[in-house]
Amino acid sequence: MNIRRSQCGSTDAAEEYDLGLHIFAVFLILTCGTFACSFPVLVKAFPKLAISQHALFISKHFGTGVLIALAFAHLLPTAFENLWNECLPYFWTEGYDAMPGFIAMVAALAVILVEMGFSLFGIKHSHDHAGVTVQEGQAHSSMPNGHVRPRDMEQGRLQRAQDISTDDVESESTSLLPHPKEQRMILQCLLLEAGILFHSVFIGLSISISTGTTFIALMVAIAFHQIFEGLALGARIAAIPSLRISSFKPWAMSLAYGLTCPLGQAIGLGLRTTYDPEGETALLVVGIANAISAGMIMYAGLVQLLGEDLLSEKSYRILSLRARAEAVVALLFGCGLMAMIAIWA
């Protein structure tokens, strides 16, 4: 064990480091990521742009496929590769070699618990301030003397449950729970962005410490990676009704995505002579971070995005057979392209 671990770390002779090209890569990735994530928000801000709603519909489902492939074809395999590295202690390589999957599972469950707690709090808060008053007002209006019959109150509760289950709360005329619903969309988007940003720093770091032909291949692959991923996230940001384009929030969320990978690149530029990607600390940090991001994005992609867009009761009411088929094709295309990029990045 000691002999094996003593040989860990990067031992290959370093190729000549082209600092100018690496600095160019920082601005290239910054431009690609920021523009891609901001583009759906720009389309929403300027409706006169010649972008059809159908194109936005396709891009949204294409983006869902990109995110699903990101978790399964990029993050999780990298987590296993790093945490199974023979340089790590016995616990990681043989003692409990399922740890990358376990970390991803815990991350997904944590997101579920956060969303569940937020939803329960939001619904309770809304009922406390609006639901009882609305229903009691309706019940009082049903009797001239203002007394409420038990049967009327029960019917009111049943009607309210039916309204929520059929998703009629989305209309402005029956706005019993619009605020919690939109807040939930914001939470889902923030959790999705957190999972994406968490690994983006390490992507940028990997670009800046690479050299030669490996660097060129990584730079091109990561540029496409940032474009596809940015479009996917931007489409979800633009879809939140309560985020007004005049507000700074949607632009800040887009900018945060665009800046994170270049931030990792800048860190890599500063640490290029000391950072060892094959060292024990680097393997553990990157492996654990990728496993956490994989779990978060798996849940977001499969449940929050794919599940709600194509498998929910509402989707079967509003999507025609043709629209559903187009969404599935876009989804599969996004999965395929992002999975193919995993060959190089």
**pLDDT, position 155:** 46
**pLDDT, position 183:** 77
- Domain annotation covers residue 68: yes
CB atoms within 10 A of CB 325: 11
pLDDT averaged per 10 residues, the chain (length 345): 51 71 96 94 81 85 93 94 93 93 96 85 56 48 49 45 40 46 80 88 90 87 92 88 75 94 94 86 92 94 91 92 96 95 85
**pLDDT, position 3:** 39
**pLDDT, position 137:** 47
* 328 contacts: CB under 8 Å, gap ≥ 6: 61, 310
- Domain annotation covers residue 64: yes
Specify the number of domains making up the chain: 1
- Domain annotation covers residue 272: no
- Domain annotation covers residue 117: no
Whether residue 283 contacts residue 82, with contact meaning beta carbons closer than 8 Å, is answered with: yes
**Would you give the DSSP letter of residue 319?**
-
- Domain annotation covers residue 227: yes
**pLDDT, position 17:** 83
By the 10 Å C-beta count (0-12 exposed, 13-18 middle, 19+ buried), 81 is classed as middle
- Domain annotation covers residue 135: no
The model's pTM:
0.75
- Domain annotation covers residue 129: no
Q: Domain limits at 327?
A: 19-110+195-267+284-341
H helices of 178-248, where?
178-209, 212-238
Element (H, E) at 279: none
- Domain annotation covers residue 247: yes
Return d(Cα 84, Cα 87) in angstroms, integer.
8
Coil vs helix vs strand at 311 = helix
Whether residue 334 contacts residue 228, with contact meaning beta carbons closer than 8 Å, is answered with: yes
Whether residue 294 contacts residue 71, with contact meaning beta carbons closer than 8 Å, is answered with: yes
